[in-house]
Structure 1
Amino acid sequence: MDYGRHEPPAGKKSARGSDAVSATRKEGARLRSTGNLDIIRRFTWEISSINMYLEELRQFWARTLGISGPQWLILMAISDLDKDDGVPVNVVSKLLHVDPSFVTTQSKLLEKKGLLRRRPSPTDARVVRLSLVEKTQKHIASLNEQYKTIREFVFQEFDENELTEFTAKLATLKGRLEKACVRISLDF
């Protein structure tokens, strides 16, 4: 079953004729090659492809600071979560779905580069709170216009309600995938 492009039967001309618009030949070939997959497999491949493009964008922005993509994600998580008193390492690790030791190690490297600050929590010295230094905040702000342009281009097909609904469905899928991973890990 074809869930992508619909090709006319052999020997018949498409009703759309030569006016049919295709993003690129590469996109057309990709759709033909994935069109015969069942919808769930195709969905997972589309999500994988989206992740690859997001990673490419992260790598580009990370290079502007001379850091890795995962380090960029740590900075973005802190930027999004910090409410002026820093963000605990475990909160960042939960958002990124990585071990807290990874965030600890990477945040120490980012601190050495002068991109973030690590401070013990005033209420519990065992908890380290992360915050961006002013230089990093300014750098992220300088990329804001480029980010806004890309965001508007990528999400132009969605109004706010549609995007909210779609994001909620993705969050539900994420939760179910997390539970599926736990189930499978118990079987092995």
Structure 2
Amino acid sequence: MGTVKSSHSTHPAAKNQDTIRRFTWEIASINVHLQELRYFWAKALGISGPQWMILMALADLDQGEGVPVKVVSKMLHVDPSFVTTQSKMLEKKGFMRRKTSDEDARIVQMSLTDKTYKQIASLASQQEALNEFIFAEFNDRELATFTDKLTSLKNRLEKACLKVAIDL
């Protein structure tokens, strides 16, 4: 007498669902490991993981004019008040400058200090070596393609969240 297999594992859509579940667990695990790395880099500067993310967002976004709190909060998917509170702490520690916009007094432009750029630069070789290890299986084209697919998935997930919110 053989074992009875669940129709769950033989139905094509069910197999797809199994793969999707596995994929979402892998992404969750990747997020945990990325968070651990963020805390490692943050600790090197004596700040928190979320504060590190704010500094990294500014390093990526600032074109010399500073970056509004709202733009950073949107990039990090956090409330603007959180960025405001954390950026004030970072300013006190000398990691960033906060300046009221000349065009609109309600907008605060944030930028990194020279001290912060130097500290980030001092970690660059470690970060590059780690990235080489992490992404060793990808050539440049494969990594770009994979990143594009993840961006597309992220955009669909954002739309799915809106759809679920509307439907509830």
- Which band: TM-score by shorter chain? 0.7 to 0.9
Query: Which residue of structure 2 lines up, in the alignment, with residue 78 of structure 1?
Result: 58
Q: Partner amino acid for 1:158?
A: F
Alignment of 1:158-169 (within 5 A): 158-169=138-149
Which among 95, 115, 119 is matched to residue 139 of structure 1?
Answer: 119
Q: Partner amino acid for 1:82?
A: D
Alignment of 1:18-167 (within 5 A): 38-167=18-147
Specify the SS of the correspondent of 1:104.
helix
The Cα offsets for residues 85-133 of structure 1, whole Å up to 9 and x where unpaired, read as 1111111111111111111111111111111100011222211111111
Unaligned ranges ≥5, structure 1: 1-36
Identity %: 64
TM-score by structure 2 length? Answer: 0.86
Query: Which residue of structure 2 lines up, in the alignment, with residue 187 of structure 1?
Result: 167
The Cα offsets for residues 49-103 of structure 1, whole Å up to 9 and x where unpaired, read as 1111100000011111221111100000001111111111111111111111111
Greater shift after overlay, 139-148 or 37-46? 37-46
Give me the whole-angstrom Cα distance separating, in 2, the residues matched to 1:122 and 1:146: 38
The Cα offsets for residues 6-65 of structure 1, whole Å up to 9 and x where unpaired, read as xxxxxxxxxxxxxxxxxxxxxxxxxxxxxxx81101100111111111000000111112
Structure 1 residue 187, shift from structure 2 partner: 2.8
The runs of at least 4 aligned residues of structure 1 exceeding 3 Å deviation read none
TM-score by structure 1 length? Answer: 0.78
Give me the whole-angstrom Cα distance separating, in 2, the residues matched to 1:114 and 1:139: 12
User: How many residue pairs end up in the alignment?
Assistant: 152
Q: Partner amino acid for 2:104?
A: D
Specify the SS of the correspondent of 1:176.
helix
Unaligned ranges ≥5, structure 2: 1-16
Specify the SS of the correspondent of 2:109.
strand
Specify the SS of the correspondent of 1:123.
coil
Q: Partner amino acid for 1:75?
A: L
Give me the whole-angstrom Cα distance separating, in 1, the residues matched to 2:54 and 2:22: 30
